[in-house]
Amino acid sequence: MDKVWLKRYPTGVPAEIDADHYSSLLDIFEQSIKTFADRTAYINMGKGMTYRELDQQSTVFAAYLQQQLKLQKGDAVAVMMPNLLQYPVAILGILRAGCVVVNVNPLYTPRELEHQLNDSKAKAIVIVENFATTLQEVRSKVAVEHVIVTQMGDMLGLVKGTIVNFVVKHIKKMIPAYNLPGSRRFKDALSQGDASRYVKPDVKGSDLAFLQYTGGTTGVSKGAMLTHRNMVANLEQVAGCIGPILNPGAEFIVTALPLYHIFALTANCLTFMKYGGTNLLITNPRDMPNFVKELAKYPFTAITGVNTLFNGLLNTPGFAELNFSNLKLSLGGGMAVQRPVAERWQKVTRTRLVEGYGLTECAPLVTVSPFDLDGFNGSIGLPAPSTLIRLVDDNGVDVAAGESGEMLVQGPQVMAGYFNRQEETDKVLKDGWLYTGDIARMDEQGFFYIVDRKKDMILVSGFNVYPNEIEEVVAMHPKVLEVAAVGIPNEATGEAVKIFVVKKDQSLTDQELIAHCKERLTGYKVPKLVEFRSELPKTNVGKILRRELKGK
């Protein structure tokens, strides 16, 4: 294969990486903890945590999982919370215990949570109490044996933590009453772990590190099996792409995207931990005024986000007046970065907004714009080191230069498959290639451009939404005869969900349907528009033609 993109690589970016440079993520953690012990690893709500403290806290949590809960190597542990100091402690503790992390969106509805916990066979869950009622609703329907509940202020110190917990519970009333018999407190778990013996497990590159859930064309969310080797490889690939501009022990990354999302997990949490950087964890980035106030306190050198986040910051008073003299890297992903946003970002911050492309199934980095690019060029960049990309037609034949085709990816970051779903795995992994379902073209320099999506996935603010799941929920309404869901352009979120419905009962209203969906779907999946039809376009075998509706 002619890797034309290698000629465009900036100086210092390697053509290949060593996916076995570290035997597991544990080796990377331990190296960073040793090298950067007294440097601040994470900051949240004004409270910092050093690498030494992260080492201590994650070790005692690992000991708790091993000795008190008797979890074994390979057992799955779910984590359901926003960006808090507890997050890195929990996921590092889980990995250091030899267990598998199952990241859960804290905004999931009971239906979505029930599926993910049962599908992953999670033995335990760490959950912030703000969302404990969601777990309570499905507690009797899932096989989770252990529930560990944390409060938002648990790791902010006695005085500040007490104040934050009081305000969250009694002033802002953000914690609905819940009842989870047998649950344990996160702080108690740490205390018990401190009195327990930690035993470092023998973790190999082939062992699972994360079960990272992604939507499915069948409407069923699937767990992408990401091994330690997958994650190590992707960290090495990220380091290959941006390493030449990073200074170990001196970087400060703004982490506003949720750590349960694969983008922030790899690009922020793990990459900058590897470099001994500081992660500023933003718990609620939707509160833009306070987000900007937080940014004003720190000399940040890097920030990641989706198009909507960058656009929101640009339109928040005070952002343009911040000190950007230290900023060297702004990385957009999760959804397409829009040219007006990228150009305005560069004008305001005097740094380029580079775009990357990734998939949950690839841990996630596949391509990224080179750091020496002068400005926005509309591409998703060049393939990462040790990554091969082919573009093929519907028959699997490579298309001619300059033509569009489905993008196939091969590299050490590609997942092992979908957990307990061999049939679904076989649909996307063929002869060592991952079929992405995205239609792309490549220019003469090796830059790739996304043209369209072969599959019907809807991309809302960087999150995958699959029509079948929406349709399944809508079809549960007794007044619905038929339904089809499509994505439509939306200035704020890139795309939004629209549903076309054939009524079974003529009294059905759009408000009634949206209320029905809100009870069963996470907010970003809820339809923004409802259009009623007397019938839906279909193929001769009765399959609904979503593409015809999308153009309406």
Write down the pLDDT at residue 2: 87
Secondary structure class of 128 (helix, strand, coil): strand
Q: Is 82 in contact with 283 (CB distance < 8 Å)?
A: yes
Q: Is 359 in contact with 374 (CB distance < 8 Å)?
A: no
Q: Give the CATH number of the domain where residue 468 resides.
A: 3.30.300.30
User: Per the domain annotation, does 159 fall within a domain?
Assistant: yes
The tens-digit pLDDT sequence of the chain (552 residues) is 789 999 999 999 999 999 999 999 999 999 999 999 999 999 999 999 999 999 999 999 999 999 999 999 999 999 999 999 999 999 999 999 999 999 999 989 999 999 999 999 999 999 999 999 999 999 999 999 999 999 999 999 999 999 999 999 999 999 999 999 999 999 999 999 999 999 999 999 999 999 999 864 445 789 999 999 999 999 999 999 999 999 999 999 999 999 999 999 999 999 999 999 999 999 999 899 999 999 999 999 999 998 878 988 999 999 999 999 999 999 998 767 878 889 999 999 999 998 999 999 999 999 999 999 988 898 999 999 999 999 999 899 999 988 999 999 999 999 999 999 999 999 999 999 999 998 899 999 999 998 876 677 788 988 888 787 898 789 889 999 889 999 999 988 989 999 999 998 999 999 999 999 999 999 999 999 999 999 888 755 456 788 788 875
Q: Which residue is listed with tokens 């500023």?
A: 280
CA distance 9 to 485: 41
Domain final residue pick, 203, 219, 254: 203
Domain final residue pick, 203, 228, 252: 203
User: Per the domain annotation, does 300 fall within a domain?
Assistant: no
Burial class of 113 by CB neighbour count within 10 A (0 to 12, 13 to 18, 19+): buried
Write down the pLDDT at residue 333: 85
Write down the pLDDT at residue 552: 59
User: Per the domain annotation, does 363 fall within a domain?
Assistant: no
Element (H, E) at 390: strand 388-392
The separation between CA 35 and the C-alpha centre of its own chain, rounded to angstroms, equals 28
CA distance 98 to 109: 29
User: Per the domain annotation, does 311 fall within a domain?
Assistant: no
Domain span at residue 170 reads: 25-37+47-203
Structural domain count, the chain: 2
User: Per the domain annotation, does 438 fall within a domain?
Assistant: no
User: Per the domain annotation, does 480 fall within a domain?
Assistant: yes
Q: Give the CATH number of the domain where residue 51 resides.
A: 3.40.50.980
Q: Is 357 in contact with 381 (CB distance < 8 Å)?
A: yes
DSSP line for 402-457:
T--EEEEEESTTS-S-BTT-HHHHHHHEETTEEEEEEEEEE-TTS-EEEEEESS--
Write down the pLDDT at residue 217: 40
Q: Which residue is listed with tokens 């949206």?
A: 514
DSSP line for 495-533:
EEEEEEEEESSTT--HHHHHHHHHHHS-GGGS-SEEEE-
Residue 197 phi, psi dihedral angles, 5° rounding: -95, 125
The separation between CA 462 and the C-alpha centre of its own chain, rounded to angstroms, equals 9
User: Per the domain annotation, does 464 fall within a domain?
Assistant: yes
Residue 299, by phi and psi: left (phi above 0), alpha (psi -120 to 50) or beta? beta
Domain final residue pick, 203, 230, 261: 203
User: Per the domain annotation, does 356 fall within a domain?
Assistant: no
CA distance 74 to 63: 15
